[in-house]
A and B are shown apart, each in its own frame.
Chain A
């Protein structure tokens, strides 16, 4: 009895010891920040000095703030573009590559390449591409189009920054391709015998079979759209005239101006909107398991 008890407690000591480091990291960098953001969002904290509870004042101020509203609208545009343009494009490419055309392995590897290059480097290249004297205008000039200041013009800036992200389909394509490869070939063989064309096979077999992964990737894509920050921050800084600002950029600018509690409120909104997207999409589009595919 004594021996079993000691053995058991030693096992538990081992388990706790092994889980301790990962738990500490998680508590300090996920749980504490979440509670901290939530708590300070109800105060007037400015980094230094006293912290006073001021109820929903920050929330009211934020919702009436035209810049934040603009940011929220831009994030919604981002989410819709990623969910309804980037993912369908990724799906189309996955449906092509699953039929293993020449060089499909190379294409799969190449399409993911931009995801391993830093946003800073990519932003630098794309700023050059979008430049008035840059390659894009040079190419469009061949077709007789007037050169445009893509990132400097409020009318084209948002479209330009979104395009730079949406055109890189590698991440979602790889997830969808892996799922498409798991569809039993016998389904296609049977359809072939029945005389179904390739396109009919894609619409009636591949798409329905990919429903689960499609819901997952769309949810992910829209959640990413809601939290978009980096490439826009690097290419335009949210400008010109807030045309490309997002909630993340708004949060950063508020923090930079030492309006910490308002930045926290924006942070709460960011978390909230992401959660709303994930919950609503799962309700609307049915069961999926974003958790199992969140590994980026």
Chain B
């Protein structure tokens, strides 16, 4: 290594770190800035966009939670995201079990069609989704969002979970067949417990998507009773127009679940992202 410390090497090394740190700053500083700003007073914010709070204004968070229907919107988001994750996980586990552990003609065709769904730009379906949801009387109901979020995540979930279930050794299942295990017991007692890790990865992606989704929520709901927190911070913050620090506190509250989930499960998420990449 020593022999490499020529002037060119030193310059390239410096450039490398400048690049790495610049991109790190762009990725992390917006959140840090938001966090610090949420703890300052409005007066401090007006004087300068940067700066350390003289005293941490934790009450900004209380203000945020007491105004703008925030608790209701948060609750809606929790209900929608949790339901979508549960429905998506059940539906995907069942489908992936057949697509990975059963042999029959047409299986690969079904798998290809289902996963090809990721190639479709879902925003091009705004009109049909709106029409479908209105016709079925689900407009402005949380269940509309649960259905859409479940569906939109199916291609990704099927891809991840089927790949995971395929990696389970055949011998484990064969032993259970000899023991006389039926179809349902094979699923519930052998494959399902063994695929827990793959299911958690798919569920995490589904949760982050559902928690953060904005466009469909805007399209399919119209009142506070059924709107999610993302719409809340976009539209209902008008009450905060002069109270930026509380608005920033509200935004911080909304990113805690997804960022918190990421910090705890980042290995699973990165593993999920590269599940296909390793093959390429």
Task: Tell me, in angstroms, the Cα distance from A14 to B112 when the chains sit together.
Answer: 21
Contacts of B269 in A (CB 8 A): 112, 116
> Does B62 have its Cβ within 8 Å of any Cβ on chain A?
no
Contacts of B27 in A (CB 8 A): 110-111, 113-114, 168, 170
How close is A27's CB to chain B, nearest CB, in angstroms? 10
Beyond A29-B129, A117-B259, A251-B124, 13 additional pairs, beta carbon < 8 A: A22-B92, A22-B94, A32-B132, A37-B124, A101-B20, A112-B270, A116-B258, A119-B214, A128-B49, A133-B49, A176-B277, A266-B124, A289-B280
Q: Chain B, 249-280, contact with A by CB distance < 8 Å: what is the 0/1 string? A: 00100110011011000100110111111111
Contact partner, B212, options A22, A118, A167, A293, Cβ 8 Å: A118
Contacts of A108 in B (CB 8 A): 270
Which A residues, 252 to 291, have Cβ-Cβ distances below 8 Å to chain B? 252, 255, 260, 263-264, 266-268, 270-271, 274-275, 278, 288-291
Contacts of A230 in B (CB 8 A): 214-215
Tell me whether A125 and B33 are in contact in the complex, defined as CB-CB below 8 angstroms, given that A120-B230, A175-B274, A175-B277 are known contacts. Answer: yes
Task: Tell me, in angstroms, the Cα distance from A26 to B111 when the chains sit together.
Answer: 12
> Does B78 have its Cβ within 8 Å of any Cβ on chain A?
no
Task: Tell me, in angstroms, the Cα distance from A296 to B274 when the chains sit together.
Answer: 9
Contact B156 A26 (CB under 8 A): no
Main secondary structure of the interface of B (DSSP, over half): helix
Q: Chain A, 85-110, contact with B by CB distance < 8 Å: what is the 0/1 string? A: 00000001100100001000001111
Contact B121 A271 (CB under 8 A): yes
How close is B214's CB to chain A, nearest CB, in angstroms? 5
Which B residues, 189 to 225, have Cβ-Cβ distances below 8 Å to chain A? 205, 208, 211-212, 214-215
Task: Tell me, in angstroms, the Cα distance from A15 to B159 when the chains sit together.
Answer: 18
Contact B276 A292 (CB under 8 A): yes
Task: Tell me, in angstroms, the Cα distance from A120 to B255 when the chains sit together.
Answer: 10
Task: Tell me, in angstroms, the Cα distance from A37 to B99 when the chains sit together.
Answer: 29
Query: What are 20 A-B contacts with C-beta separation under 8 Å?
Result: A19-B99, A33-B132, A96-B20, A111-B23, A116-B261, A120-B233, A135-B50, A177-B274, A179-B278, A179-B280, A248-B124, A251-B123, A255-B130, A260-B131, A294-B155, A294-B159, A295-B159, A295-B275, A295-B276, A296-B118
Smallest CB-CB separation from A229: which chain B residue? B123
> Does A174 have its Cβ within 8 Å of any Cβ on chain B?
yes
Q: Chain B, 113-152, contact with A by CB distance < 8 Å: what is the 0/1 string? A: 1111111110111111111100000000000000110111
How close is B245's CB to chain A, nearest CB, in angstroms? 12
Chain A residues in the interface with B (C-beta under 8 A): 10-11, 14-15, 18-19, 21-23, 25-26, 28-30, 32-34, 36-37, 40, 47, 92-93, 96, 101, 107-114, 116-122, 124-126, 128-129, 133-135, 138, 167-171, 174-179, 182, 198-199, 212-213, 216, 223, 226-227, 229-230, 233-234, 248, 251-252, 255, 260, 263-264, 266-268, 270-271, 274-275, 278, 288-296
> Does B91 have its Cβ within 8 Å of any Cβ on chain A?
yes
Contacts of A28 in B (CB 8 A): 132, 151
Task: Tell me, in angstroms, the Cα distance from A275 to B124 when the chains sit together.
Answer: 13
Contact partner, A110, options B12, B28, B90, B279, Cβ 8 Å: B28
Contact B28 A113 (CB under 8 A): yes
How close is B59's CB to chain A, nearest CB, in angstroms? 21
Contact partner, A119, options B113, B127, B183, B212, Cβ 8 Å: B212
Contacts of A133 in B (CB 8 A): 49
How close is A38's CB to chain B, nearest CB, in angstroms? 10
How many residue pairs link A and B with beta carbons under 8 A? The number is 269
> Does B31 have its Cβ within 8 Å of any Cβ on chain A?
yes
Contact B126 A252 (CB under 8 A): yes
Contact A267 B274 (CB under 8 A): no
Contact B215 A229 (CB under 8 A): yes
How close is B34's CB to chain A, nearest CB, in angstroms? 6
How close is A153's CB to chain B, nearest CB, in angstroms? 20
Smallest CB-CB separation from B136: which chain A residue? A28
Contact partner, B20, options A10, A93, A175, Cβ 8 Å: A93
How close is A18's CB to chain B, nearest CB, in angstroms? 4
Contact B266 A109 (CB under 8 A): yes
Smallest CB-CB separation from A15: which chain B residue? B98
Contact B258 A117 (CB under 8 A): yes
Contact B233 A121 (CB under 8 A): yes
> Does B97 have its Cβ within 8 Å of any Cβ on chain A?
yes
Tell me whether A260 and B273 are in contact in the complex, defined as CB-CB below 8 angstroms, given that A182-B278, A294-B118 are known contacts. Answer: no
Contacts of A30 in B (CB 8 A): 117, 120, 151
Contact partner, A93, options B19, B159, B275, Cβ 8 Å: B19
Task: Tell me, in angstroms, the Cα distance from A110 to B126 when the chains sit together.
Answer: 33
Contact B280 A291 (CB under 8 A): no
Contact A290 B119 (CB under 8 A): yes
Contact A295 B152 (CB under 8 A): no
Contacts of A198 in B (CB 8 A): 4
Task: Tell me, in angstroms, the Cα distance from A29 to B205 when the chains sit together.
Answer: 19
Contacts of A101 in B (CB 8 A): 16, 20
Contact B212 A117 (CB under 8 A): yes
